[in-house]
Amino acid sequence: MIFLDFFKAVSQFADPRFRRVLWLGVGLTIALLVAVYSLFLWLMNPTFEGDITLPIIGPVSWLGDLLSWGSLGLMLILSVFLMIPVASAITSFFLDDVAEAVEDMHYPYLPAVPRTPFYDSVKDTVNFLGILIAANVLAFAIYAVVPFLSVFIFFALNGFLLGREYFQVAAMRRLGREGAKELRRQNTGKIWFAGCLMALPLSIPLINLFIPILGAATFTHLYHRISGTAATSG
């Protein structure tokens, strides 16, 4: 059923309002990806001077090569890992817009709800990013012990965390924080599986640019299906 939720999200490309949010989301995703990539290079070369030498790519100057074609290729490769925190950050900016567009088309019988205060969304996202980063840092120790399981651990861990956040944010609009937590606890397996399916395309360069917004739409459908509000959807 999660695949049906995703196909519903993709089918809404015809909606101009949804396309507007999608392209804004892609633009912000690229901006955030470049920002995270810049931070990565800064950490590798904190003095801002000289070149750094990377395997295959060769010498890369921090600022001069940031927007070069060689650096663009490196950024696309690193996006396999960098898109996980970027996708998390996107929820605070566009979840309400995506959810409203989805509900207006597929669940027009539902009453309108107030938008989530921006400060609350950003606070939740920052808190979650801390958990996401800490969990992945700890996971590196496990990768060293069982490297043959690293790929499975990576997707299982990030699928769990992404599913948890995206569903929580989607459900919180109508159920409140505690109601969303309770519904999430009752459907942990489904949400985890959906999160893993979201994490997989996030590891594919270029395609992953579209996944944060499509993921927000998919989890909006998932919430309505689990909560029962989709039962009367036309």
199/91: higher pLDDT: 199
Distance CA 153, CA 140 (A): 10
Q: What is the DSSP letter of 114?
A: P
The HSE-up count of residue 151 (CA atoms within 13 Å, CB side) is 3
Question: What would the DSSP string read from start to end of 164-222?
Answer: HHHHHHHHHHHHHHHHHHHHHHHTHHHHHHHHHHHHHHHTSTTGGGTHHHHHHHHHHHH
pLDDT digits (tens, 9 = 90+) for 112-129: 888 878 777 778 888 888
The predicted model scores a pTM of: 0.79
Report the pLDDT value the prediction gives residue 216, as an integer from 0 to 100: 92
With vertex at residue 5, the alpha carbon angle to CA 3 and CA 23, rounded to the nearest 5 degrees, is 110
At 120, give phi and psi (nearest 5°).
-65, -40
Q: Is 80 buried (19+), middle (13-18) or exposed (0-12) by CB count in 10 A?
A: middle
Banded pLDDT at 136 (limits 50, 70, 90): confident
**pLDDT at site 88:** 80
Q: Is 8 exposed, middle or buried (0-12, 13-18, 19+ CB in 10 A)?
A: buried
pLDDT for the residue 228: 84
pLDDT at 234: 42
- Give me the pLDDT at residue 43, please: 65
Q: What are phi and psi of 97, to 5 degrees?
A: -65, -45
As given in the structure block, the two tokens for residue 188 are 């942990």
* Residue from 213, 230, 222 nearest 168 by CA: 222
**What's residue 70's pLDDT?**
56
Q: 202 pLDDT exceeds 60?
A: yes
pLDDT digits (tens, 9 = 90+) for 43-77: 655 544 555 444 444 555 544 454 455 566 667 77
Please answer whether residues 198 and 166 qualify as being in contact, where contact means their C-beta atoms are separated by less than 8 angstroms.
Answer: yes
User: Could you tell me what percent of the chain has a pLDDT over 90?
Assistant: 33
CB 35 within 8 A of CB 63: no
Average pLDDT over residues 80-100: 82
Residue 80 pLDDT > 70: yes
Buried b (16+ CB within 10 A) or exposed e, 174-195: bbeeeebeebbeebeebbbebb
